[in-house]
Amino acid sequence: MSISWPLLLVILGTLFDLSEAKAFFVFGDSLVDSGNNNYLESTARADSPPYGIDYPTHQPTGRFSNGLNLPDIISEYLGSESTLPYLSPELQGEKLLVGANFASAGIGILNDTGVQFISIIRITRQLEFFQQYQQRLSSLVGPDQTQQIVNNGLVLIALGGNDFVNNYYLVPDSARSQEYSLPEYVKFLISEYKKILARLYELGARRVMVTGTGPLGCVPSELALRSQNGECNPELQQAGDLFNPQLVTALNELNKQYGSDVFVTANAFKMHSDFLNNPQDFGFVTSKEACCGQGPYNGLGLCNQFSNLCPNRDTYAFWDAFHPTERATRLIASQFMTGSTEYMNPMNLSTILAMDARN
């Protein structure tokens, strides 16, 4: 069968577009998991209503959100479709060129974080899957093109919050809190995180956005468990105050070591704090109460069909006991895109995209 010249141009153009598009790779926990835990025997799942109530299909997807999550919105900025969960059977063929989401709800920097959730993809395993992904992509486009796609791709990694909430502070006198004082624990976490990021670099990542922890003491779960009158828990706030500056220092050290701005700090603490401290300025009626949940601040138990559910998710900063609504996530994502160095250091995503377009 002969192919007409115009059709051949269309086919070649499509392949060129696919090869030139910036792939997107996501690692981390429930803030960025797009559904990997749906495929696991895990208790950390978001695969039942009302999760996904505002997603385009109005169905739960495994995202810990009423709608889109942070990777989805960054994909919009990239002009690309959302990356599929790595465990999704749909992730094959040309879909591999878009990238992959390796994140898994419940995990942390440490392998003992999240053991209560049973089956989760710990970060070491996520990095193994990234290697596996590259082998699969190499079968499709060859090793040279694979290396180029990975080197030119964008990476988002979100870790650290669970190491405090679901490990150090999970129960009074936890094993880790017996082993380390908080300052020592933070130093330990940072040293382990540096190893993870160095491994990402070894695997070819050259543009990595690294989120610090948000205001952990201000989430509805912690308000319900630890707050007397709605104030943020000082211990968990202190954890972020210690962790985030040391993470910035670690990323600067790695960038100096590699002689390039590989790692970009995303100041999630400030991004969240802006609208948590002044919710009305951002159109929220509350930044303390979750839209979906039970108990004080809707911060207890799981978000499910028996939960209280707010009628308008756009007026709530928090969707469930831990995670922001889609609208709050869009505010966070806008700082990723255009935020000053106070939010994204040494550069924001629009600067990264402009620089990479010129190279």
Residues 38-62 pLDDT 10s: 999 999 999 999 999 999 999 999 9
pLDDT beyond 90 at 35: yes
In 3D, which of 101, 102, 98, 93 has the Cα closest to residue 136?
Answer: 93
What is the share, in percent, of the chain residues with pLDDT greater than 70? 94
Segment 65-73 shows an average pLDDT of 98
Could you tell me the end-to-end alpha-carbon distance of the chain, in angstroms, rounded to an integer? 39
Alpha-carbon gap, residue 283 to 162, rounded angstroms: 29
Write out the DSSP string of 119-153: S---HHHHHHHHHHHHHHHHHHH-HHHHHHHHHHS
Structure token digits, residue 321: 């006991």
Q: Can you state the percent helix, strand and coil of the chain, rounding each to 5?
A: 50, 10, 40
Q: How confident is the model at residue 20 (pLDDT cuts 50, 70, 90)?
A: low
Alpha-carbon gap, residue 336 to 211, rounded angstroms: 10
pLDDT at 12: 37
DSSP H or E segment with residue 265: strand 263-266
Is there a cis peptide before residue 6, judged by omega within 30 degrees of 0? no
Region of 265 (left: φ > 0; alpha: ψ -120 to 50; beta: rest) is beta
pLDDT at 186: 98
**Residues paired with residue 209 on neighbouring β-strands, in sequence order:** 156, 264
CA dihedral for 298, 302, 303, 307, sign (positive or negative): negative
Are 129 and 142 in contact by the 8 Å Cβ rule? The answer is no
Chain mean pLDDT for the chain? 93
pLDDT tens digit string along 196-214?
A: 999 999 999 999 999 999 9
How does DSSP classify residue 165?
I
Are 266 and 28 in contact by the 8 Å Cβ rule? The answer is no
pLDDT beyond 60 at 191: yes
pLDDT beyond 50 at 3: no
pLDDT at 17: 42
pLDDT at 228: 85
In 3D, which of 159, 307, 60, 70 has the Cα closest to residue 299?
Answer: 307
Strands 286-290 and 263-266: unpaired
């995303």: which residue's tokens?
Answer: 266
**Residues paired with residue 335 on neighbouring β-strands, in sequence order:** none
Segment 23-45 shows an average pLDDT of 97
Q: How many other CB atoms sit within 10 Å of the CB of residue 152? A: 17
Segment 281-300 shows an average pLDDT of 97
pLDDT at 301: 87
Q: How confident is the model at residue 359 (pLDDT cuts 50, 70, 90)?
A: confident
Which residue has better confidence, 332 or 16?
A: 332
**Which residues are annotated as catalytic?**
30, 320, 323
**What are the CA-CA distances from residue 134 to residues 111, 130, 184, 353 (Å)?**
24, 6, 36, 23
- Range of lowest pLDDT (6-10, 95-99, 245-249, 319-323): 6-10
pLDDT tens digit string along 308-342?
A: 999 999 999 999 999 999 999 999 999 999 999 99
- Range of lowest pLDDT (4-18, 133-147, 320-334): 4-18
Q: Which residues have a Cβ under 8 Å from the Cβ of 239 and sit 6 or more positions away?
A: 164, 168, 169, 182, 186, 213, 216, 217
Segment 256-284 shows an average pLDDT of 97
Alpha-carbon gap, residue 9 to 24, rounded angstroms: 27
